[in-house]
Amino acid sequence: MTQLETAMTMLMQTFDKYAGAEGNPQTLTKAEAKTLMEKELPTLLKAAKNPGEVDSLLKALDYNGDSEVDFTEFVILVAALTCACHDRSPKK
């Protein structure tokens, strides 16, 4: 697989690893999403200025208002974080 295909597979596997621990295997509850972020994005969480930012982020992620994060919402989060990190990194 190419690097991009590997990255896509890793996104799917990471979501699936945490989804469904508390119920629906197609979505992340707030607790599951928080655990995923703590385990998979610890450096970004440490950089957050306010612990409440994580809760605000999780609430904002729930675009359809069902109190859970589906895969599409998860991918939007990862894409947004990737863009933010890319904007901060020095360009060659």
Q: Which of residues 42 and 89 earns the better pLDDT score?
A: 42
Specify the pLDDT at position 87: 67
Look at the chain and count its residues.
Answer: 92
Of 65, 84, 63, whose CA–CA distance to 73 is shortest?
A: 63
DSSP structure string for 39-54: HH-HHHHHH-S-THHH
Q: What does the pLDDT look like over 27-40, one tens digit per residue?
A: 999 889 889 988 99
Q: What does the pLDDT look like over 56-68, one tens digit per residue?
A: 777 777 778 888 8
Whether domain 31-92 has CATH 1.10.238.10: the reply is: yes
From 16-20, 31-35, 74-78, 84-88, the region with the lowest mean pLDDT: 84-88
Report, as an integer, the average pLDDT of 58-84: 84
Specify the pLDDT at position 51: 65
